[in-house]
Structure 1
């Protein structure tokens, strides 16, 4: 129920949708007796579109997320027992139809997983990701990830695939269950978690709430760091997309905290 409710609520609340609704509703009112309100709605929508699309807002929202967790120190022994890759890097609807890899802008999750797999040849590679589609169903991301990772030289017998998870919390809970069943979880084992840097705070919080100790290995950075917090966009579409992505993450952190799916409102590195 949480998954479907979250999808429905976010469809309405995401900034790009709200802006479109404001402008569209205002345009309709202009041709009625409520023309004054129509002009107001259109004006507010246009201003919000310019602010979200061209101002530094999207970068200002994503920098704190990306900088929250540094990468784990892999020079400190022991080497990783396993490497976890979260789904979200593929478009399986297109990939399954075209019979070809279809990585999106988060494709570094899989590429970095393959790189680390070669760096640590004894580590298991665990992937978690099912089919999160509602209107259009496709095969699980795990199937596409397995095909791509093996083509990148990762032996099939090193892969552990979890193909039912549809969101971050389910990634943590379902993968923990899968690894426990295979005897891959105990205090002596060291697991890395690969996901997009902006998504790492919610991911770490969800894994901690599930009782699964992991170390962060963020990828897919969208900014250089704090120096980009005030950098505007030169394309409205890119700025609006960035605001949508980051707003979803901040709202997700709040929703996960309220529902007990994360261990903190804004999870951070554990203090020694």
Structure 2
């Protein structure tokens, strides 16, 4: 129920859709007896479109998420016992139709996961990702990930696949069960969590809540750092997309905290520093 409700609510209230609906509703009202309100809605929507689409707002929103967790120190022993790659890097709908690997802009999750797997030859490689589609079903991401990782040189007997999770919380819960069933989950084992940098706070919080201590390996950075706080976008669509991405995580962190799916409102590397909200 949570999965479907979250999808429906977010579709309406994500910034880009909300602005489009505001302008569209205003345009309709202009042709009615509520024309004054219609002009107001269109004006507000147009201003929001320019501010959200062209200003550095998206960078300001996503930067704290990306900088929250630095990469784990891989020079520190022991070597990782396993690598966890979260889904979200594939376009299974297109890839299935074209019968070809099709990565999206989060493709670094799989690419860097393969790089680390080749570096740490004894580490297990766990992938978690099902089919999160609602209108269009495309099959589990785990199937495509397994094929791609194998083609990149990762032995199939190293792979542990979890093919049912549709969101971050389910990633944590289902993957722990999968690892326990395979005998790969054990106290003291060092596991790296590989996901987009902006998605790392919510992911770490969900895994901690599931009783699974992991170390962060953020990838798929969208900003260079603080210097991007003054960098405007040259395409309205790019600015809107950046704000959508960042707001989805901030709203997700709040929703996860309110529903007990994360251990803190804004998880931190030092658990004693977590804001409990």
TM-score after normalising by structure 1: 0.99
Deviations 1:98-145 (A, max 9, x none): 100010000000000000000000000000000000000011000000
Divergent runs of 4+, >2 A? none
For 2:137 and 2:91, how far apart are their aligned partners in 1?
A: 11
The answer for the alignment partner of 1:260 in structure 2 is 260
Between stretches 139-148 and 179-188, larger displacement belongs to 179-188
Residue 44 (structure 1) aligned with residue 44 (structure 2): yes
The answer for the alignment partner of 2:13 in structure 1 is 13
The answer for the alignment partner of 2:161 in structure 1 is 161
Q: CA deviation at 1:271?
A: 5.5
Q: CA deviation at 1:254?
A: 0.2
The answer for the alignment partner of 1:199 in structure 2 is 199
For 1:39 and 1:110, how far apart are their aligned partners in 2?
A: 47
The answer for the alignment partner of 2:136 in structure 1 is 136
The answer for the alignment partner of 1:104 in structure 2 is 104
SS in 1 for 2:265: coil
For 1:105 and 1:209, how far apart are their aligned partners in 2?
A: 28
For 1:245 and 1:28, how far apart are their aligned partners in 2?
A: 29
Residue 183 (structure 1) aligned with residue 193 (structure 2): no
Deviations 1:22-61 (A, max 9, x none): 1001111111111111100000000000011001100000
Residue 150 (structure 1) aligned with residue 150 (structure 2): yes
SS in 2 for 1:125: strand
The answer for the alignment partner of 1:75 in structure 2 is 75
Structure 2 matches for 1:79-90, cutoff 5 A?
79-90=79-90
For 1:139 and 1:254, how far apart are their aligned partners in 2?
A: 29
Distance 1:53 1:180, change over 3 A: same
SS in 1 for 2:230: coil
Between stretches 179-188 and 119-128, larger displacement belongs to 179-188
Corresponding residue pairs, total: 272
The answer for the alignment partner of 2:33 in structure 1 is 33
For 1:183 and 1:35, how far apart are their aligned partners in 2?
A: 66
Between stretches 181-190 and 23-32, larger displacement belongs to 181-190
TM-score after normalising by structure 2: 0.97
The answer for the alignment partner of 2:275 in structure 1 is none
**Aligned-pair RMSD on alpha carbons?**
0.8
The answer for the alignment partner of 2:172 in structure 1 is 172
For 1:19 and 1:85, how far apart are their aligned partners in 2?
A: 34
For 1:101 and 1:5, how far apart are their aligned partners in 2?
A: 31
For 1:156 and 1:186, how far apart are their aligned partners in 2?
A: 21
The answer for the alignment partner of 2:4 in structure 1 is 4
Distance 1:10 1:271, change over 3 A: closer
Between stretches 203-212 and 227-236, larger displacement belongs to 227-236
SS in 2 for 1:229: helix
Structure 2 gap ranges (5+)? 273-277
Q: CA deviation at 1:188?
A: 2.4
Structure 1 gap ranges (5+)? none
Between stretches 28-37 and 74-83, larger displacement belongs to 28-37
For 2:102 and 2:138, how far apart are their aligned partners in 1?
A: 13
